[in-house]
């Protein structure tokens, strides 16, 4: 082996090493950078090799420097070790060869382990990051799903329905032209079915909420199978309310056919556990072109159509009608303003005399409600009583009428003790079923000082005939207190005298419309009225006739046996002060009177 100086050994060693590593590193570092690095390490490497005893710590530093230089690939380091071993074997003194090879080999081995650990750590971190990103994506997707779907049935919720509806409306129509839609093609149309299960509360009350929940799940499944392939979207937006979006709708007839199919599906009995449950539903339908459609109007109009369907009875569908909606909106405006109108004092009570036949002497007065509406003028009960009953306002409104009328009648009683007329107040079926009504009457009578026999309550014939135990008990308690009970509008419904005999009724009020039908041109059908009056008297009942408009009617009704009458012939409904003025007059209180308005 030729002897070389340490400087020559260093240069040769560094050059060969750099050349070998540059090729082996496969572009880990540029060749000139590798050469520069190893040239700086060569002298230190040989110094370590000549040093006796051998210093492994210094050799490890040299190996660590190689690793820190990014020569960390295990293959590259292995090749580097081979080059180092060969170079040192050829050119280094024998005594130093093994020391240098051993030192560098240890350093490279340490670097290999370090590189493997770093690589493993990097892969682990990369896998963990990928897992984290995947889990986060799944979590976000689950959050979106929960935010857009009903947790019980799994169908869409109100949020997703409104989002999909808004997107459908906003989606532009395909462009017309050779590559777009046919300009003669029909416009895109959209349809909505708003469904409400009829009487679903009774299911929960009868079978429990668990069964009710399972039933809702089953209903949602049937709706999805029928509607979503349409294509459509089914959403649950309330306790037992579902709404469906269909686009394209296929036209009004197609939406009606869909609603009919849905009603048929719902009417098929459901098997929930051990229970076989029958259901019906009501459906409101809206169908119109997408162009110009407004999201809020679509939902509002579908709700209006549903309201109309439910008003017509269970198991019905109804298509939105703008003209009908205008009427419904007006009725709804009255309904919503009724409570505030009561608080604002917009309601008044007027009084129509009830007189004896044939002399016209004042026997009683009927209290009639009027609404002095700020924009619509004075409204008769026919315009709002039904709304008051359906909205529940009838209870506080009826209580107010009772208080006002009894207070007025008590004043009349003080003006003419022993000769004051009774006050007749109309009673709704809802009031009769109110468990606190009897107590209200007793309280009002005590507060006003009105004797019980001077109060008459009028309940319609249909309400009396259909009365169940609650209103019947109420009427019996009131009759036992001395309150008069009258069957109002007799002749407009069942006309069942035998049934009325079992009720605590003291008089019948023959319907004005019934009288007009009997006497369109005069008293031609007096045998019917005579027979009704005769039967009523045999049952111990008095007969009052409403709607008397002419003196001929008054005279003939007296001949036919009727007891009392009221109508425009005698007097229209007047303020209470007018009746008070009549009672203050020492003359007998007879009607008609020139001082009061009459027909």
Confidence of residue 572 (pLDDT cuts 50, 70, 90): very high
Tell me the CB-side half-sphere exposure of residue 42, using CA atoms within 13 A. 23
381-436 tens-digit pLDDT: 999 999 999 889 999 999 999 999 999 999 999 999 989 999 999 999 889 889 99
Q: Give the span between the Cα atoms of 341 and 453, in whole angstroms.
A: 32
**Looking at the predicted structure, is the pLDDT value of residue 566 above 50?**
yes
The pLDDT value given to residue 404: 98
Neighbours of 24 (CB within 10 A): 19
Q: What share of the chain in percent tops pLDDT 70?
A: 73
The pLDDT value given to residue 103: 55
Q: Are residues 107 and 236 both part of a single domain?
A: no
**Looking at the predicted structure, is the pLDDT value of residue 93 above 90?**
no
Confidence of residue 25 (pLDDT cuts 50, 70, 90): very low
| Residue 423: strand, helix, or coil | strand
**Looking at the predicted structure, is the pLDDT value of residue 292 above 80?**
yes
Q: Are residues 508 and 417 both part of a single domain?
A: yes
**Looking at the predicted structure, is the pLDDT value of residue 564 above 80?**
yes
29-76 tens-digit pLDDT: 555 565 566 556 665 665 665 555 556 666 667 666 666 665 544 445
Q: Are residues 396 and 508 both part of a single domain?
A: yes
The pLDDT value given to residue 525: 59
Q: 104 near 62, Cβ under 8 Å? A: yes
Any idea which of 2-16, 152-166, 309-323, 536-550 has the lowest mean pLDDT? 2-16
Q: Report how many domains make up the chain.
A: 3
Helix axes 200-207, 209-227, angle to 10 degrees: 140
Residue-range definition of the domain harbouring residue 275: 158-168+186-320
Kindly report the pTM of this predicted structure: 0.59
Q: Are residues 238 and 279 both part of a single domain?
A: yes
Q: Which run of H or E residues covers position 571?
A: none
CATH of the domain at 294: 3.30.70.270
Residue 10 carries which DSSP code? H
The pLDDT value given to residue 9: 47
Sort residue 426 into left (φ over 0), alpha (ψ -120 to 50) or beta: beta
Q: Give the span between the Cα atoms of 387 and 127, in whole angstroms.
A: 68
Tell me whether residue 112 is in a domain. Answer: yes
178-201 average pLDDT score: 80
Tell me whether residue 134 is in a domain. Answer: no
Q: Give the span between the Cα atoms of 452 and 446, in whole angstroms.
A: 9
Tell me whether residue 207 is in a domain. Answer: yes
The pLDDT value given to residue 117: 67
Any idea which of 166-175, 409-418, 453-462, 503-512 has the lowest mean pLDDT? 166-175
> Which of 66, 99, 122 delimits the end of a domain?
122
Q: 571 near 596, Cβ under 8 Å? A: yes
The pLDDT value given to residue 106: 60
Q: Are residues 281 and 208 both part of a single domain?
A: yes
Tell me whether residue 128 is in a domain. Answer: no
Q: Are residues 306 and 379 both part of a single domain?
A: no
The pLDDT value given to residue 184: 56
Tell me whether residue 173 is in a domain. Answer: no
Reported residue count of the chain is 599
Confidence of residue 10 (pLDDT cuts 50, 70, 90): very low
The pLDDT value given to residue 315: 94
The pLDDT value given to residue 77: 47
Q: Are residues 295 and 360 both part of a single domain?
A: no
**Looking at the predicted structure, is the pLDDT value of residue 494 above 60?**
no
Locate 59 and state its tokens: 């050799």
Q: Is the peptide bond before 231 cis (omega within 30 degrees of 0)?
A: yes
**Looking at the predicted structure, is the pLDDT value of residue 248 above 80?**
yes
The pLDDT value given to residue 131: 77
137-157 tens-digit pLDDT: 888 888 888 889 999 999 999
> Which of 281, 298, 320 delimits the end of a domain?
320
Task: Considering only residues 464 and 423, tell me which one the structure prediction assigns the higher pLDDT.
Answer: 423
Tell me whether residue 150 is in a domain. Answer: no
Tell me whether residue 328 is in a domain. Answer: no
Question: What CA–CA distances, in Å, run from 27 to 32, 76, 119, 120?
Answer: 11, 11, 18, 22
Q: Are residues 424 and 458 both part of a single domain?
A: yes
The pLDDT value given to residue 328: 76
Q: Are residues 380 and 337 both part of a single domain?
A: yes
Tell me whether residue 253 is in a domain. Answer: yes
**Looking at the predicted structure, is the pLDDT value of residue 302 above 80?**
yes
499-517 average pLDDT score: 79
> Which of 320, 343, 364 delimits the end of a domain?
320
Confidence of residue 465 (pLDDT cuts 50, 70, 90): low
Q: Are residues 367 and 466 both part of a single domain?
A: yes
Residue 522 carries which DSSP code? S
The pLDDT value given to residue 512: 78
**Looking at the predicted structure, is the pLDDT value of residue 521 above 70?**
no
CATH of the domain at 344: 3.20.20.450
Q: Are residues 528 and 396 both part of a single domain?
A: yes
The pLDDT value given to residue 492: 64
Q: Are residues 228 and 337 both part of a single domain?
A: no
| Arithmetic mean of pLDDT over the chain | 82
Which residues lie below 8 Å from residue 324, measured CB to CB, with a gap of 6+? 308
Q: Which run of H or E residues covers position 346?
A: none
The pLDDT value given to residue 121: 73
518-526 average pLDDT score: 57
The pLDDT value given to residue 38: 58
The pLDDT value given to residue 520: 56
């Amino acid at each position: 082996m030729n002897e070389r100086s340490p400087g020559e050994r260093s240069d040769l060693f560094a050059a060969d090493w750099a050349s070998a590593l540059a090729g082996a590193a496969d572009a880990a570092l540029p060749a000139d950078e590798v050469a520069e690095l190893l040239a700086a390490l060569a002298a230190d490497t040989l110094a370590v090799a000549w040093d006796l005893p051998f210093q492994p710590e210094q050799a490890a530093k040299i190996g660590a420097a190689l690793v820190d230089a990014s020569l960390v690939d295990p293959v590259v380091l292995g090749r580097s070790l081979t080059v180092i071993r060969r170079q040192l074997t050829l050119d280094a003194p024998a005594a130093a060869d093994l020391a240098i090879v051993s030192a560098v080999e240890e350093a490279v081995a340490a670097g290999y382990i370090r590189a493997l650990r770093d690589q493993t750590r990097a892969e682990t971190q990369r896998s963990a990051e990928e897992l984290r990103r995947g889990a986060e994506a799944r979590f976000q997707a689950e959050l979106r799903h929960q935010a857009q779907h009903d947790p019980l049935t799994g169908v869409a919720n109100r949020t997703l329905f409104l989002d999909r509806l808004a997107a459908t409306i906003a989606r532009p129509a395909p462009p017309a032209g050779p590559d777009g839609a046919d300009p003669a093609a029909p416009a895109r149309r959209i349809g909505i079915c708003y469904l409400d299960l009829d009487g679903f509360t009774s299911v929960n009350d009868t079978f429990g909420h668990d069964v009710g929940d399972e039933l809702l799940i089953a209903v949602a499944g049937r709706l999805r199978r029928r509607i979503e392939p349409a294509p459509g979207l089914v959403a649950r937006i309330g306790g037992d309310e579902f709404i469906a979006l269909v686009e394209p709708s296929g036209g009004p007839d197609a939406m009606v056919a869909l609603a009919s199919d849905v009603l048929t599906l719902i009417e098929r009995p459901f098997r929930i556990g051990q229970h076989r449950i029958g259901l019906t539903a009501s459906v409101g339908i809206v169908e119109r072109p997408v162009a110009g459609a407004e999201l809020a109007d679509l939902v509002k109009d579908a709700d209006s159509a549903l309201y109309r369907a439910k008003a017509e009875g269970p198991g019905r569908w109804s298509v939105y009608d703008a003209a009908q909606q205008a009427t419904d909106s007006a009725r709804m405006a009255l309904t919503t303003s009724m409570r505030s109108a009561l608080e604002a004092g917009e309601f008044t009570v007027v009084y129509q005399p009830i007189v004896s036949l044939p002399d016209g002497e004042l026997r009683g007065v009927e209290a009639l409600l009027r609404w002095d509406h700020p924009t619509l003028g004075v409204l008769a009960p026919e315009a709002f009583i039904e709304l008051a009953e359906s909205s529940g306002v009838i209870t506080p409104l009826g209580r107010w009428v009772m208080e006002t009328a009894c207070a007025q009648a008590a004043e009349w009683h003080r003006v003419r003790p022993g000769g004051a007329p009774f006050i007749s107040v109309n009673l709704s079926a809802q009031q009769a079923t109110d468990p606190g009504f009897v107590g209200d009457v007793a309280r009002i009578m005590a507060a006003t000082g009105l004797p019980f026999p001077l109060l008459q309550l009028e309940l319609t014939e249909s309400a009396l005939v259909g009365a169940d135990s609650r209103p019947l008990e109420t009427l019996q308690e009131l009759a036992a207190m001395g309150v008069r009970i009258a069957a109002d509008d007799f002749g407009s419904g069942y006309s069942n005298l035998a049934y009325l005999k079992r009720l605590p009724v003291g008089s019948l009020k023959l319907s004005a419309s019934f009288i007009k039908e009997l006497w369109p041109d005069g008293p031609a059908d007096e045998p019917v009225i005579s027979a009704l009056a005769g039967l009523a008297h045999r049952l111990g009942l008095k007969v009052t006739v409403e709607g008397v408009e002419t003196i001929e009617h008054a005279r003939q009704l007296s001949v036919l046996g009727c007891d009392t009458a009221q109508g425009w012939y005698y007097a229209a409904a007047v303020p209470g002060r007018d009746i008070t003025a009549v009672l203050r007059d020492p003359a007998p209180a007879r009607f008609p009177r020139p001082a009061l308005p009459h027909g």
